[in-house]
Structure 1
Amino acid sequence: MHRAQLATFLRGRRERIRPADVGLLAGRRRRTPGLRREEVAQLAFISTEYYTRLEQARGPHPSREVVGGLARALRLSDAERDHLHQLAGLPPGPPPGPPRTVRPSVQLMLDRLPQSAAFVTSAMLEVIAWNGLAAALMDDFSARSRRDRNLARHAFLGSEDRADRLYGVSDGDEFARSAAARLRRTAARYPDDPEVAELVDDLLTGSPEFAALWAAGDVDTAPMLRKTFQHPVVGPVTVNCDALDLTDQDQHVVVYTADPGWPSDEALRLLAVIGTQHMSSAT
């Protein structure tokens, strides 16, 4: 184990993380940048004394479980996680699970796209960030639990009416094939993540369609570049679909835009005004 290098690496990453990045309040008495040692220890589920000894190059050989906890607590990228394993004298293992939070800068980017419906999905196809127009076009995600914000669950276990599945979108069957292929890749990347395993098991048990697509073994599908939503208030909305990869987070930013001057463009502008109020008025 490279104790000195490990200590330097841990200290540098700890000081780089802002408390808000891990859901903590900065407070007025915080004198040093980044997290405190006790905060990292708490997030990694180890004792503060043990973590302090690691940062002082006095700690014993950390186990794979400890290294995994530190990687999660310090929000390490895959490359940084592998490096941490090497410093600890351990061969890198599979990532513990897909990241389920977005960087604040990504949410800021979504909010600055007022004429586009934009959202972020995790590797499990859970909607983990969105802007107001995405909520107005698709669903008020803020009113849904994490479980109910999963697009795969919505597509395969939602409405039995195929014409109404996934917010009445025109390419529901294509999305279903893409979702099954993406989840197969996700399950291979995160074989030890219980939430991934639970999701796949629920879909296999509850959806014969998903079971058939899963059995086909596809891991690649053609991108969906254009689709039409059947909206309950403004009617059909045809949008261009572009997806951007956040490779370090294994996340996708999806952006829906309408062609300028067309009825769908006017429909999006109207949705931007009325927001999610239509959710209650249409029922």
Structure 2
Amino acid sequence: MDRMELADFLRRSRTRLTPSDVGLSAGPRRRTPGLRREEVAQLAGMSTDYYTRLEQRRGSHPSRQMLTALARALRLTDVERDHLFHLAGEEPPRPCGSSGHVRPGLLLILDRLTDLPASVLSDWGEVLAQNTMAVALSGDNTGSNLIRRWFTDPGTRALFPPENHEQHARSHVASLRAVTAARPDDPGPAALVDELRATSCEFEAYWQSHDVVVRRPSPKRFLHPVVGTLDLDCEVLLSDGHSQQLVVHSARPGTDSRQRLELLRVVGLQDLTSSS
């Protein structure tokens, strides 16, 4: 681990970004260029103290998960992400497998969608990034796997009407089966299948049905505990290679759901302000 070079690279990557580049408000009294250390830490999901120690050449060896989070927070390109891994003494993610690295261009689109819930997912359910509206709609799920949570966490299903649970479950399993067939050497999806077949009888039953689908645009009904029922359209934009998906939810103009979505935006901003 090259502490000096790592610290310099992190600092330079941080100072070249503006708050608007990452969907943050600049706020008053900003005297230095770029992002603040606490803003990078917030985006990466780590403590400000730990990130500060990395820039001061005092930090402990960051994990691969933490390096991936830093690359996403600093909007690094694939080449820059690999450089970050090398400076930390780690091998970059294999190009043939699933990557948790979101392209800066995709994150830029995500940051600009301030009034619609939007998330970047891997094709096997990993939540790679969310905007404020997505967090307000379904909670902060970045770093988790939606399919694992659906079959292992009963609270995950509370956001959807019971009559839609079977449809969601079948869709999750069929989508995962398509991914494992397309990339049999990718350890991530394969390990998830083995885990869920061993722990969830429901997953195993759907797996045995051998349905195959890919995620497509479709309407969804959400049961939000604050704003009530939301009937939303779901659009899915695929990245090159279709390994990552930008999922955007919207409500049709003139509907109650449109008004509730606007209320959700206000609620989300209030929560963000109170937690900062």
TM range (shorter): 0.5 to 0.7
Contact 2:221 2:232 in 1 (8 A): yes
**Is structure 2 residue 167 aligned with structure 1 residue 174?**
yes
**Is structure 2 residue 238 aligned with structure 1 residue 245?**
yes
State the alpha-carbon separation in 1 of the partners of residues 109 and 218 from structure 2: 21
Q: Give the % identical residues.
A: 37
- 1:156 counterpart (151, 154, 173): 151
**Is structure 2 residue 267 aligned with structure 1 residue 274?**
yes
1:190 counterpart letter in structure 2: R
Counterpart in 2 of 1:210?
Answer: 203
**Is structure 2 residue 218 aligned with structure 1 residue 225?**
yes
CA deviation after TM superposition for structure 1 residue 70, in Å: 7.6
CA deviation after TM superposition for structure 1 residue 275, in Å: 0.7
Query: TM-score, normalized by length of structure 1?
Result: 0.61
1:116 counterpart letter in structure 2: L
Give the SS at the match of 1:141: coil
**Is structure 2 residue 131 aligned with structure 1 residue 107?**
no
**Is structure 2 residue 35 aligned with structure 1 residue 42?**
no
Contact 1:44 1:70 in 2 (8 A): no
Q: 1:254 to 1:166 in 2, by over 3 A?
A: farther
State the alpha-carbon separation in 2 of the partners of residues 267 and 214 from structure 1: 36
Contact 1:99 1:249 in 2 (8 A): no
Counterpart in 2 of 1:236?
Answer: 229
Give the SS at the match of 1:241: strand
Q: 1:188 to 1:272 in 2, by over 3 A?
A: same
State the alpha-carbon separation in 2 of the partners of residues 249 and 123 from structure 1: 7
The structure number with the bigger radius of gyration is 1
Counterpart in 1 of 2:30?
Answer: none
Q: 1:27 to 1:217 in 2, by over 3 A?
A: same
2:159 counterpart letter in structure 1: Y
State the alpha-carbon separation in 1 of the partners of residues 79 and 240 from structure 2: 25
Contact 1:155 1:172 in 2 (8 A): no
Q: 1:35 to 1:231 in 2, by over 3 A?
A: closer
Counterpart in 2 of 1:92?
Answer: none
Unaligned runs of at least 5 residues, structure 1? 1-18, 29-33, 47-68, 77-94
- 1:265 counterpart (227, 247, 258): 258
Counterpart in 2 of 1:3?
Answer: none
Contact 1:124 1:196 in 2 (8 A): yes
Unaligned runs of at least 5 residues, structure 2? 14-77
**Is structure 2 residue 238 aligned with structure 1 residue 194?**
no
Q: 1:198 to 1:25 in 2, by over 3 A?
A: same
1:132 counterpart letter in structure 2: T
Contact 1:98 1:190 in 2 (8 A): no
State the alpha-carbon separation in 2 of the partners of residues 35 and 258 from structure 1: 38
State the alpha-carbon separation in 2 of the partners of residues 71 and 140 from structure 1: 24
CA deviation after TM superposition for structure 1 residue 252, in Å: 1.3
**Is structure 2 residue 17 aligned with structure 1 residue 25?**
no
1:212 counterpart letter in structure 2: A
State the alpha-carbon separation in 1 of the partners of residues 85 and 134 from structure 2: 37
State the alpha-carbon separation in 2 of the partners of residues 193 and 128 from structure 1: 17
Give the SS at the match of 2:189: helix
- The C-alpha deviation readout for 1:164-198, integer Å capped at 9, x for no partner, is 61622563322211211111122223333333222
Contact 1:237 1:264 in 2 (8 A): yes
Contact 1:118 1:255 in 2 (8 A): yes
State the alpha-carbon separation in 1 of the partners of residues 93 and 261 from structure 2: 41
Give the SS at the match of 1:25: helix
Q: What is the alpha-carbon root mean square deviation over aligned residues?
A: 3.6
- The C-alpha deviation readout for 1:145-182, integer Å capped at 9, x for no partner, is x2xx211012111107xxx6162256332221121111
2:179 counterpart letter in structure 1: T
Counterpart in 2 of 1:86?
Answer: none
State the alpha-carbon separation in 1 of the partners of residues 197 and 230 from structure 2: 32
Contact 2:217 2:236 in 1 (8 A): no
2:98 counterpart letter in structure 1: P
